[in-house]
Amino acid sequence: MTKRILSGMQPTNQLHLGNYLGALRNWVKLQDAGDYETLFCVVDLHAITVPYDAAKLAQSTREIAAAYIAAGVDPHKSILFAQSAVPAHSQLMWLLATMTQIGKLNRMTQFKDKAGKNSEKAGLGLYSYPVLMAADILIYKATHVPVGDDQRQHLELAREIVGTFNHRYGQDYFPEPESVVLEEGARIMSLRDGTQKMSKSAESDMTRINLTDDADTIAKKVRKAKTDPEPLPEIFADLDARPEAKNLVTIYATLTDKTGDEVMAEFAGKTFSEFKPALADVAVNHLAPISARMNELLDDTAQLDAYLKLGAERANAIAEPHIKEVMDLMGFWKA
Ligand code: TYM
């Protein structure tokens, strides 16, 4: 069977360092390794599960596509597209919804986080979001899904849905998709609270570094990041009880492709007043070319749209025969 990768990100706000270190840079590695067919989508249908601005949605989708390309996704090697441009995602979602138990959806932590205290008022879209995510993956019969740690639970649900479908309708029709989670960077935390993940939806922009932040903004956010007065230890594991410190060292290590212990060898005994400027430098050097390339791409909307159109054609060419097969297996009338 073809080894096929599918992943996606929501066009809600800017992408941040967590998205980049937890997922995007891994997508590029996997694409370049050449062992998989790679599909990367901008999941715009997911973005409308929370209040959003219709006037900005299309441009946000282009911005995320530009970020993918700027970070190294090659629109010729990979299939790069907007989720809403492939109708089979939504079609399959309905079919899969009929075989997803609500008891399982009730356990999804992302829904609980996003719906907050007022879950009775949350939309059905937000609640059924993991079923659409399963459809995103299964419509391509993807075998591997590179994501950050926070998406593991959704992947597990997708695997359970596969089990139910295959059992009821067609032996081994869908492969069970495996999550591909990086060891380093899978969980980048907020700059203000080392127990919360860095997130697009956190209210304060000071909690995250966006891919498009300029050098001064990055330096300011790093300077103001929460830390403690202790010097850095010799061994990375000694940071386990200091979540904010551990997070900053993790960011430094992933950006420089070093292990935590290698970073400690450089900085042991130093305080954060010395470490933070070094971290800001590394982040700026890494992100500046990405945001410059993003801006170039966004200046040429026609070219960006052409990439997305090409990607949608290629994605539809895989998805359409699959939705027909699924409907056949499920016994629908056809002419
Ligand atoms: P989204 O848009 O919230 O995040 C995109 C990717 O970034 C990862 N990520 C992080 N990694 C490390 N540290 C963090 N603080 C951090 N925050 C986010 C996420 O794990 C994700 O890989 N449900 C998905 C989008 C989606 C999807 C799919 C993904 C929809 N359909 C099909 C894969 C396959 C989401 O909300 O990602």
**CATH classification at residue 48:** 3.40.50.620
Question: How many residues appear in the chain?
Answer: 335
Ligand 1 atom at minimal distance to the Cα of residue 188: 13
Residue 202 inside a domain? The answer is no
Which pLDDT score is estimated for 115?
A: 85
Residue 11 and residue 47 in contact, taking contact as beta carbons nearer than 8 Å: yes
| Cα–Cα distance, 18 to 277 (Å, whole number) | 20
Q: Are residues 242 and 265 in the same domain?
A: yes
Give pLDDT tens digits for 219-231: 999 999 999 999 9
Which pLDDT score is estimated for 1?
A: 63
Q: Output the DSSP codes for 263-288.
A: HHHHHTT--HHHHHHHHHHHHHHHHH
| Cα–Cα distance, 329 to 173 (Å, whole number) | 9
Domain range for 274 is 212-296
Which pLDDT score is estimated for 116?
A: 84
| Cα–Cα distance, 300 to 278 (Å, whole number) | 34
Catalytic residue among 56, 104, 121, 200: 200
270 assigned to active site:
no
Ligand 1 atom at minimal distance to the Cα of residue 185: 12
Q: Are residues 274 and 288 in the same domain?
A: yes
Of 145, 147, 154, best ligand 1 pocket probe by most atoms within 8 Å of the beta carbon: 147
| Cα–Cα distance, 137 to 135 (Å, whole number) | 5
Q: Are residues 8 and 115 in the same domain?
A: yes
Which pLDDT score is estimated for 315?
A: 98
Residue 191 inside a domain? The answer is no
User: What is the token pair recorded at 310?
Assistant: 């090409």
Q: Are residues 280 and 307 in the same domain?
A: no
Centre of ligand 1 to C-alpha 116, Å, is 19
Query: CA 23, 143, 46 angle in degrees (round to 5)?
Result: 55
200 assigned to active site:
yes
Residue 230 inside a domain? The answer is yes
Residue 226 inside a domain? The answer is yes
Centre of ligand 1 to C-alpha 52, Å, is 18
Closest to 226 (Cα-Cα) out of 248, 252, 205, 203: 248
Give pLDDT tens digits for 44-103: 999 999 999 999 999 999 999 999 999 999 999 999 999 999 999 999 999 999 999 999
| Cα–Cα distance, 15 to 7 (Å, whole number) | 15
Centroid of chain to Cα 290 = 17
Which pLDDT score is estimated for 113?
A: 86
Q: Does residue 197 line the site of ligand 1, with CB under 6 A?
A: yes
Centre of ligand 1 to C-alpha 13, Å, is 13
Q: Does residue 213 line the site of ligand 1, with CB under 6 A?
A: no
Of 43, 198, 210, best ligand 1 pocket probe by most atoms within 8 Å of the beta carbon: 43
Q: Phi/psi of residue 249, each to 5°? A: -65, -40
For the four alpha carbons of 269, 273, 277 and 282, in that order, the dihedral sign comes to positive
Instruction: State the 10-residue block means of pLDDT for the chain, 335 residues long.
Output: 92 93 96 96 96 96 98 98 98 98 93 85 94 98 97 97 96 95 91 94 93 95 95 96 96 95 96 96 96 96 98 98 98 95
Residue 59 inside a domain? The answer is yes
Of 145, 151, 180, 191, best ligand 1 pocket probe by most atoms within 8 Å of the beta carbon: 151
Residue 200 inside a domain? The answer is no
What region, left, alpha or beta, does residue 152 occupy, with left being phi > 0 and alpha being psi -120 to 50 degrees?
alpha
| Cα–Cα distance, 308 to 304 (Å, whole number) | 6
Which pLDDT score is estimated for 47?
A: 96
Centre of ligand 1 to C-alpha 150, Å, is 7
Q: Are residues 142 and 217 in the same domain?
A: no
Residue 24 inside a domain? The answer is yes
Centre of ligand 1 to C-alpha 169, Å, is 30
Which pLDDT score is estimated for 174?
A: 98
Q: Are residues 26 and 139 in the same domain?
A: yes
Q: Are residues 270 and 180 in the same domain?
A: no
Q: Are residues 45 and 143 in the same domain?
A: yes
Residue nearest to atom 25 of ligand 1 (CA): 9
| Cα–Cα distance, 31 to 9 (Å, whole number) | 16
User: What is the token pair recorded at 265?
Assistant: 């060898």
Total number of domains in the chain: 2
Report the predicted TM-score, pTM, of the whole model to 2 decimal places: 0.96
Q: Does residue 146 line the site of ligand 1, with CB under 6 A?
A: no
Q: Are residues 155 and 238 in the same domain?
A: no
Q: Are residues 222 and 306 in the same domain?
A: no
Centre of ligand 1 to C-alpha 301, Å, is 25
Task: Report the CATH number at residue 229.
Answer: 1.10.240.10
Q: Are residues 41 and 156 in the same domain?
A: yes
| Cα–Cα distance, 106 to 268 (Å, whole number) | 45
Q: Where are the alpha helices (DSSP H) in 141-199?
A: 152-168
Residue 232 inside a domain? The answer is yes
Q: Are residues 97 and 123 in the same domain?
A: yes
